[in-house]
Structure 1
Amino acid sequence: MSSDGSAPRIDRDRDEEGRARNARPRDGLGRPLPHGAPGVERLPEGVVRSPEETLTEAQRLLDAGMPFHAHEILEDAWKSSAEAHRLLWKGLAQLAVGATHAARGNHTGAVTLLRRGAGNIEAYQEDPPHGIDVAGLLRWAHAQAEELAAGTGGLPTPRLR
């Protein structure tokens, strides 16, 4: 408590608009590192990309073992997409977060996000936009969730197309 009885003020990193942003460096799986430590370059937030650019960059990051960073790319698409495809991009971002949790050893979180992401992309299976392999991603997500829930298996890289 401060001298006036209120909770002490905690200074937080903020962006130009005043929103809280963690400026600490991050490792390849998105975990914060101590200030001043070398980390993986952060991707700018809120970038509007074409679906082609989004899928290419997200796949590159997934292939590099950086699912947290792939999630950030997919999250930008989710937040800037038209309503018709919003759940698709949200689900893809959730699959990447599930892969992040699995890579960090949080199998419970991974199972939850893989199942949630699969549920969000399922409606796009019959007519998948942008060449996305929705059926393959569903198979991947369900198989990985089952294996992680059972405490077995590794997490192969998902193929978006």
Structure 2
Amino acid sequence: MHDRERDAEGRARNARPRDSFGRPLPPGSVGVPRIPDDLELPPDRTLGYAQELLDDGLAFNAHEVLEAAWKNGPFAERLLWQGLAQLAVGLTHIQRGNPTGARTLLLRAAGRLELYTPEPGGEHGVDRAGLIEYTRALLALLAAGAAIGPDDLRPALRGR
């Protein structure tokens, strides 16, 4: 068994560079910039940053930004941030050519977004209904075996 890289708290961390789809590259390669594990941004900046990354085709990096909000944000908003992070991972699986993984994560994303009941001000302008519809449309394309292009993988987190 291989020893995994660990951070100061003993959590498994892979410091290897990654490609634009989040896949580890050989040591010494040049990859895309990594999102810091301890990223803490207010919700508005989190959504803006994640949207920029999605628009640039960097769904894996958007996932890392959204996952930081899920882990560092208020418990009452956990389903929202989990749903958004899982949507980004679903897009990452499509980019990587993994329809099975994409379906699994997109179903989880839609489910979490549907279950989320925001407290006043807890939705942060996220277009939950539009994202659920978008996710269901991607699932239908996957089920039909239809081609999904890069422009199909740029959802609007807050509507446009």
Structure 1 vs Structure 2 CA RMSD: 1.7
Q: Matched residue of 2:153: which SS?
A: coil
Q: Which runs of 5+ in 2 are unaligned?
A: none
Q: Which of 117-126 and 26-35 deviates more?
A: 117-126
Match among 138, 155, 160 for residue 157 of structure 2:
160
Match among 125, 130, 134 for residue 124 of structure 2:
130
1:148 and 2:142 matched: yes
Instruction: Please give the alpha-carbon distance, in whole angstroms, between the structure 1 residues aligned to 2:142 and 2:27.
Output: 33
**Deviation of residue 46 (structure 1)?**
2.4
**Deviation of residue 25 (structure 1)?**
0.6
Q: Which has the higher contact order (CA 8 A, sep 6+)?
A: 2
Corresponding letter in the other structure for 2:81: W
**Deviation of residue 63 (structure 1)?**
0.4
Residue of structure 2 in register with 1:22 after alignment: 14
Identity %: 56
Instruction: Please give the alpha-carbon distance, in whole angstroms, between the structure 2 residues aligned to 1:103 and 1:80.
Output: 27
Instruction: Please give the alpha-carbon distance, in whole angstroms, between the structure 1 residues aligned to 2:48 and 2:81.
Output: 14
Q: Which has the larger radius of gyration?
A: 1
Task: State TM-score, norm by structure 2.
Answer: 0.89
Residue of structure 2 in register with 1:112 after alignment: 104
Instruction: Please give the alpha-carbon distance, in whole angstroms, between the structure 2 residues aligned to 1:153 and 1:126.
Output: 35
Aligned length: 153
Residues 108 and 149 in structure 1, CA contact (< 8 A), matched pair in contact too: no
Task: State TM-score, norm by structure 1.
Answer: 0.88
**Deviation of residue 111 (structure 1)?**
1.1
Instruction: Please give the alpha-carbon distance, in whole angstroms, between the structure 1 residues aligned to 2:146 and 2:9.
Output: 44
Distance 1:12 1:125, change over 3 A: closer
Instruction: Please give the alpha-carbon distance, in whole angstroms, between the structure 1 residues aligned to 2:117 and 2:106.
Output: 16
